Structure 1
Amino acid sequence: MNKSNFIQKTALLSIYAFIAFFNPKSLLAQNQEIVQLTGMVVSDDGQTAVPGVHIYVPKYGRGTTSNSYGYFSMPVLVGDEMVLSSIGFMKQRFVIPQGTNGRVNVVFKMETDTVYLENIDITPFLSEKMFKEAILAINIPDAGKMIGNRLDGNALSALMRNMPYDASLNASYYFNQQLYYMQDNYGPRTNPFLNPFNWSKFIKSLDKKKK
């Protein structure tokens, strides 16, 4: 072995040792099986697709995003720990299993991340004391007095005079006018004051009152 070959082999071994020391994960990944991960991301009801979900491998910093139908596909390695995250949903983790024959199909159900906040009462007052004082200072009108003003006789008379006829009153007025017109066609309109029978009844009623 000449000196130049020895120097080349020594340099290559040094480079491999440097890479293995500072990046052992990359050498380990070369020996892992590559798997095509394909999946759908849906909500907890199992029917609604969830778009824009980040699916990534934190260890290597690679990943993808689900499309508008919740679909995604990316190459991964056996043993990779996948993380699924999206705003409004809880994070999920999934480890790529062995013996998949180079392909994994999964449907992920994202659980809704609900955060309950404390109730906050917004008022235009600086303190509760000022709020109570403002409530006590409110001048509430007397309901009975307001009702009495609305039922005043003069006010009701004015409303009656100025109120126009509605549909039923107009129809009633029209039918009455037609009735009077028909009666006038068959003879003169009778005057109740000229009816002798009415006068007889009136006189008898006066005699009963005197008795």
Structure 2
Amino acid sequence: MKYIGKIFGVAVLMSFLLTFAVNTAQAQGKSSVIQLSGLVLGEDSTSALAGANIYVPAAGRGTSTNQYGYFSLPVLAGDSVILSSIGYKKQYYLVPEDQKESLTIVVELQTDTTYLPGVVVFPFPTEEIFKEAVLALELPDQDQYDNMNENLNADLLARMFEAMPMDGSMNHRYFMNQQFDRLQYGSGPRPNPLLNPFAWAEFIKSLKRGDFKKK
């Protein structure tokens, strides 16, 4: 009888321990359902991001923000939520374990700028063929460019400069002198230039410059 009583006591104790372990495991494995809502904004904190993705990897489900950047979906306490959008860096949000029923968050995504190396596209397989094509290229107004280059030839311009009697400043000075003489002597007799010492001085300068030789 004592042996049977010991066996019975051990069986009752094992049954109690097994029931306690099962209840504890169920309590630990069961998480509360939370309605997660939020607003996804851009880097300036003022513009809402429409079409941003909200994904829960553990549950394999997600949703997207509406035109106002708002979203709402059920999650479990302790879930990791990924928020992403094209042109922005991903952000991860961990749902608190002690959260009850509902939770509202505001997430600001940072701009993700991707710099790509420059690519130069040529329609020629080799550099030598490209050079030959450039040298052989004829512009539609090539004749006008040829005439311009011929008229702006350095030797031609030098010869024109030597043959020109007066430059622009000299022409302007001559015109101003003519205007002054017209205003000064318009209402009276003109003085004899042979008696004008300034005229003689200008005549001597002309001889030194060789103005008469050029003419």
**Structure 1 Cα separation of the partners of residues 154 and 73 of structure 2:** 80
Summarize the Cα distance change of 1:85–1:109 in structure 2 as closer, same or farther, 3 Å threshold.
closer
The sequence identity of aligned pairs, in percent, is 25
CA deviation profile, 1:80-128 (whole Å, cap 9, x unmatched): 33222222233333232223342232323234051524x4322232213
SS in 2 for 1:152: helix
Partner of 1:183: 185
Q: Kindly indicate whether the alpha-carbon contact (under 8 Å) linking 2:34 and 2:74 is maintained by their aligned counterparts in 1.
A: yes
Q: Kindly indicate whether the alpha-carbon contact (under 8 Å) linking 2:89 and 2:110 is maintained by their aligned counterparts in 1.
A: yes
CA deviation profile, 1:19-45 (whole Å, cap 9, x unmatched): xxxxxxxxx88x6232332133223x6
Q: Kindly indicate whether the alpha-carbon contact (under 8 Å) linking 1:80 and 1:96 is maintained by their aligned counterparts in 2.
A: yes
Displacement of 1:179: 5.0
Partner of 2:82: 83
SS in 1 for 2:108: strand
Task: Extract unaligned runs of 5+ from structure 1.
Answer: 1-27, 164-168, 206-211
Q: Kindly indicate whether the alpha-carbon contact (under 8 Å) linking 1:83 and 1:94 is maintained by their aligned counterparts in 2.
A: yes
Amino acid at match of 2:183: Y
Q: Kindly indicate whether the alpha-carbon contact (under 8 Å) linking 1:56 and 1:82 is maintained by their aligned counterparts in 2.
A: yes
**Structure 1 Cα separation of the partners of residues 49 and 181 of structure 2:** 76
Partner of 2:130: 131
Mapping of 1:58-77 within 5 angstroms? Answer: 58=57, 59-65=59-65, 67=67, 71-77=69-75
SS in 2 for 1:151: helix
**Structure 2 Cα separation of the partners of residues 175 and 52 of structure 1:** 81
TM-score normalised over the length of structure 1: 0.50
Amino acid at match of 1:190: P
Task: Extract unaligned runs of 5+ from structure 2.
Answer: 1-28, 138-145, 205-215
Q: Find out whether 1:148 has 2:155 as its counterpart.
A: yes
Partner of 1:54: 53
TM-score normalised over the length of structure 2: 0.50
Summarize the Cα distance change of 1:136–1:191 in structure 2 as closer, same or farther, 3 Å threshold.
same
CA RMSD of the aligned region, Å? 4.7
Summarize the Cα distance change of 1:156–1:125 in structure 2 as closer, same or farther, 3 Å threshold.
farther
Q: Kindly indicate whether the alpha-carbon contact (under 8 Å) linking 2:40 and 2:65 is maintained by their aligned counterparts in 1.
A: no
Displacement of 1:189: 0.6
Q: Kindly indicate whether the alpha-carbon contact (under 8 Å) linking 2:53 and 2:62 is maintained by their aligned counterparts in 1.
A: no
